[in-house]
Amino acid sequence: MAEPETHYYHHGRFKVVGGVIPDAITAYRTYGDSSKPCIVFPTCYGGRLDNSGLLGQSYLVGEGKALDPSKYFVVTFALFSNGESSSPSNTPAPYNGPYFPQVSYEDNIKAQHAVLTKKLGVKHIYCVVGFSMGGQQAYYWPTVFPDFVDKFVAICGSARTSPHNKWYDVRLNSKAILDWNISFLEGPKAALVASRDFDGGHYKSPPTIGIRAFGRVYSAWAYGQTWFREHQYLAQGTYPDLESWLREDWEGGFLSWDANDLLVLLETWRSGDISLLRDGGNYEAALSGIKAHGLIMPSKTDLYFPPEDSEFEVSHLKNSQLVVIDSVWGHIAGGDGNETDTNFIRDHIWKFLEQ
């Protein structure tokens, strides 16, 4: 299937949690006939609409895939700060670079809603599907617009970023482990901002030293420990050793990104928490308030969003089911890490959409 062109919706002056974007732009693509039920599929961290394969959108969209344009009207959205929608790298002064405001998930959802209703004429979403940060957006959609969404699928994502949940309090009688996700995010962030070429975000050329360090720190959490043990650092034979994998897959993967874009997007992830929108931080109440039917699909070995978090969430969601991806591929299992896991996700999404 040929990839459609990317469209750009201009919101005009758009208020966000950190201030304002004078001429905010949301990038999006559409697949299929707009008369069919609408499915929204937003990007994840490191994801762009023009990607293919890992961290792109094409692994779930297409004929015979999870989101088939012959059955549904699929709309893919680029997050603010991914380099396609409004970002530090493409916004003119005085909001360029480190002066770009912080953006929340709620800001993104409201912008996407505007595109759907004002430009595409969508009156209702049949389902929101997302992986990682996309999965977190899937939780936000029925929270921000509770009567606009029928279903949502959260793949390797959660309704809030750490602290995680009371499961850890009960099982471990400790709060020391509650900051896993946020602590992870602080690692690559620190590696980038402390680099000698970052210059407080005022760099004149790409801070490649910092971005390479960012990629290496990020890599340590992307796969489960079982993956490293079974694959012996060789990524199924693609790379001859660990160093080449780090250099090509992780340094190389992030070198195409703008450093300030990475940081603003990271803060969106870090600050995610649906309970802050309407329930004063009561996480259980926020989950219980979601009316849409949910399919929650964590990876068994995910170090960002462990399945125990999803178990807790599903225990408070009124209309949701838990399906664990039994994979050694950690977080990447949900982002087209391998064909077996992608097919597993596809089959369960098909079943869920047909219910």
Statement: the pTM of the whole predicted model exceeds 0.85:
yes
Per-residue pLDDT of the chain (355 residues; tens, 9 = 90+): 678 999 999 999 999 999 999 999 999 999 999 999 999 999 999 999 988 666 889 999 999 999 999 999 999 999 999 999 999 999 999 999 999 999 999 999 999 999 999 999 999 999 999 999 999 999 999 999 999 999 999 999 999 997 544 444 444 444 433 446 887 899 999 999 999 999 999 999 999 999 999 999 998 778 876 766 666 555 566 778 888 888 988 899 999 999 999 999 999 999 999 999 987 889 999 999 999 999 999 999 998 898 989 999 999 999 999 999 999 999 999 999 899 999 999 999 999 999 9
Q: Which amino acid is at 51?
A: N
pLDDT score recorded for residue 164: 44
> Which residue carries 């599903």 as its tokens?
314
Residues labelled as active-site residues: 132, 302, 331
Query: What secondary structure, in 3-state letters, does the chain show?
Result: CCCCCCEEEEEEEEEECCEEEEEEEEEEEEECCCCCCEEEEECCCCCCCCCCCCCCCCCCECCCCCECCCCCEEEEECCCCCCCCCCCCCCCCCCCHHHCCCCCHHHHHHHHHHHHHHHCCCCCEEEEEEECHHHHHHHHHHHHCCCCEEEEEEECCCCECCCCCHHHHHHHCCCCCCCHHHHHHHHHHHHHHCCCCCHHHCCCCCCHHHHHHHHHHHHHHHCCHHHHHHHCCCHHHCCCCHHHHHHHHHHHHHCCCCHHHHHHHHHHHHCCECHHHHCCCCHHHHHHCCCCEEEEECECCCCCCCHHHHHHHHHHCCCEEECCECCCCHHHHHHCCCHHHHHHHHHHHHHHHHC
> Which residue carries 């949502």 as its tokens?
152
Q: How far is CA 138 from CA 145, 219, 339, in A?
A: 11, 25, 23
Half-sphere exposure for 163 (CA within 13 Å, toward CB): 13
